Amino acid sequence: MFDSLSERLGGVFDRLKGRGALTEADVRTAMREVRIALLEADVALPVARSFVDSVTEKAVGQQVLRSITPGQQVVKIVNDALIEMLGPDTAELELDVTPPAVVMMVGLQGSGKTTTTAKLAKLLKKQGKKVMMASLDVNRPNAQEQLAILGTQIEGATLPIVAGQQPVDIARRALQAAKLQGFDVLMLDTAGRLHVDQQLMDEMKAVADISKPQEILLVVDSLTGQDAVNVAQSFGEQVPLTGVVLTRMDGDARGGAALSMRAVTGKPIKFAGVGEKLDAIEPFHPQRVAGRILGMGDVVSLVEKAAQAIEAEDAEKMAARLAKGQFDMNDLRSQLGQMRRMGGIGALAGMIPGMKKAQQAMANGAVDERILLRMDAMITSMTPKERTKPELINAKRKIRIAKGSGTTVQDVNKLLKMHQEMSTAMKRIKKMGGLKGMLGMLG
């Protein structure tokens, strides 16, 4: 996700941070590069322009230029502006009504609408909600059967299919069934469209009139870039969308749709689809995404992911250590082990501060297991004391560790730097008091 943008911006900021003092011209040059990077990421032109203008205005102020760390300050300003552009807050589903709350799913054919319906149903089920799904798609052959199959896979309820029934009638029947059977949430998967077409739009409005949805979520494919944003705009003109789900974010290295969606349509991105499996969906957290784009890592998501894979006992120990803001080489190693168990670091690399760079430098872009194993080998070559107190590792010790693990001193330095960054991030999380939610998940 956002790989190429992240790389480009990383280069710009490394140059900025590398300098002690900055002039206004330095900042303006950097911002021109940021603008090009955004446009290459397929961000809508007016969005890129206003983003860069607003950042530049703040960044060329004397307070920034005269500060001790002007480069870092500029990065912080960009970070804040990115969060603003993406969100600015995490948008939750609003389902607090007399049940059943209705969630209507709309979108073009092939956008991932039916899959997303099942993913969301699964997510809501996990949160303890009783969910029923119903397909109103009578156009595409087997669409209703597809949803029924997905329903079986997530062990969720679907409305029994009645051949020949029309969408509005299905919606009415679904609503009644959900009410009678005490469902908390009813998810309506409407018919897809090949393009924005009036007849189907009218059908969608009729369904919305009958079912009075709390949420109307538009599903769009992030890989279609600016088209996704245009589609959202057209749908938004016809029905009161409450949010957007961006699918295929797992394959989207550019991220233009995600970056422009909010600014162009005014609609929040509520979820991101990140794979074909039925649990490959994530709430869209602007802060975390901005952190990932700027290569600052997304420690919170990482810890949450790890928590799901961790054994309960480990989790408790880890939670206790994190609560104290501790994070030593043993913790790092257990994180690496979990990552291996979770199936590689592809998805996780961007979440760890410094990991991306270490990854690139160590294997020239060739990802995977091998890097994790090398890191593990380096930690194995440390003495127990070094593991708990990495600050003991001086030049001589580095040479020993590199020899012992078949790596280089540079590699050891990178590992130490990564550990340092993670440790700082953990302390920061502790300070922000943001650990509570994480502890909940860990415990």
Q: 155-173 burial string, b = 16+ CB within 10 Å, else e?
A: ebbbbeeeeeeebeebbee
Shortest distance (Å) from residue 136 CB to ligand GDP:
12
Query: Is 114 a binder of ligand GDP (CB under 6 A)?
Result: yes
Residue 273 Cβ vs ligand GDP, minimum distance, rounded to whole Å: 3
Q: Is 187 annotated as a binding residue?
A: no
Pick the piece of the chain touching ligand GDP (CB under 6 A) from 31-39, 160-168, 230-238, 243-251. 243-251
If binding is defined by CB under 6 A, does position 255 make contact with ligand GDP?
no
Nearer to ligand GDP, 184 or 282 (CB): 282
372 is in an annotated binding site: no
Contacts of 200 (CB under 8 A, 6+ apart): 191, 193
Of all helices (H) and strands (E), which one includes residue 233? Answer: helix 226-238
C-alpha 243/C-alpha 241 separation (Å) is 6
Member of 3, 24, 227, 250 binding ligand GDP (CB under 6 A)? 250
Spatial separation of the C-alpha atoms in residues 116 and 135, rounded to whole Å: 13
Stretch that binds ligand GDP, among 51-59, 198-206, 270-278, 404-412 (CB under 6 A): 270-278
- Piece of the chain touching ligand GDP by CB under 6 A; list 55-63, 268-276, 336-344, 423-431: 268-276
Residue with tokens 């104290």: 324
Q: How far is the CB of 376 from ligand GDP (least distance, A)?
A: 29
**Burial readout 305-341 (b: 16 or more C-beta within 10 A, e: otherwise):** bbbeebeeebbeebbeebeeebbebebbbebbbbbee
Round to whole Å and give the CA distance between 252 and 225.
Answer: 9
Residue 192 sits in the site that holds ligand GDP (CB under 6 A): yes
**With CB under 6 A as the contact rule, which of the stretches 17-25, 46-54, 110-118, 256-264 interacts with ligand GDP?**
110-118
Residue with smaller CB distance to ligand GDP, 34 or 124 = 124
Structure tokens at 107: 């979108």
Nearer to ligand GDP, 146 or 238 (CB): 146
224 binds ligand GDP (CB under 6 A): no
193 binds ligand GDP (CB under 6 A): no
State yes or no: residue 251 binds ligand GDP (CB under 6 A).
yes
How near is the Cβ of 250 to ligand GDP at its closest, in Å?
5
Q: Is 109 in the site for ligand GDP (CB under 6 A)?
A: yes
**Residue 110 lies near ligand GDP (rule: CB under 6 A):** yes
**Cα separation, 46 vs 259, whole angstroms:** 12
| 371/373 Cα distance (integer angstroms) | 5
Least spacing, CB of residue 423 vs ligand GDP, in Å: 33
CA atoms within 13 A on the CB side of 29: 10
Binding mask 278-307 for ligand GDP (x = CB under 6 A): --x---------------------------
Q: How far is the CB of 115 from ligand GDP (least distance, A)?
A: 3
- Beta carbons within 8 Å of 222's beta carbon, 6+ residues apart: 228, 246, 247, 248, 249, 252, 255, 257, 258, 272
Cβ nearer to ligand GDP, comparing 45 with 149 = 149
Residue 61's alpha-carbon distances to 22, 52, 54, 95, 124, in angstroms, are 11, 14, 12, 44, 46
Member of 70, 273, 291, 297 binding ligand GDP (CB under 6 A): 273
Give the one residue of 12, 132, 241, 274 binding ligand GDP; rule: CB under 6 A: 274
Q: Figure out which of the listed residues 112, 255, 353, 354 binds ligand GDP, where binding follows CB under 6 A.
A: 112
For ligand GDP, give the closer residue by CB, 92 or 276. Answer: 276
Does 191 belong to an annotated binding site?
A: yes
Stretch that binds ligand GDP, among 155-163, 164-172, 255-263, 269-277 (CB under 6 A): 269-277
Retrieve residue 249's tokens: 């974010």
What is the rounded CA–CA span in Å between residue 260 and residue 249?
14
User: Would the CA dihedral through 146, 147, 149, 154 be positive or negative?
Assistant: positive
State the CB neighbour count (10 A cutoff) for residue 47. Answer: 20
Sign, CA dihedral 215-220-225-228, equals negative
108 is in an annotated binding site: yes
Counting contacts by CB under 6 A, is residue 270 touching ligand GDP?
A: no
Question: What distances in angstroms separate CA 96 from CA 104, 131, 248, one per listed residue?
Answer: 15, 14, 29
What does the binding site for ligand GDP look like in residue numbers (CB under 6 A)?
Answer: 107, 109-115, 192, 247-248, 250-251, 273-276, 280
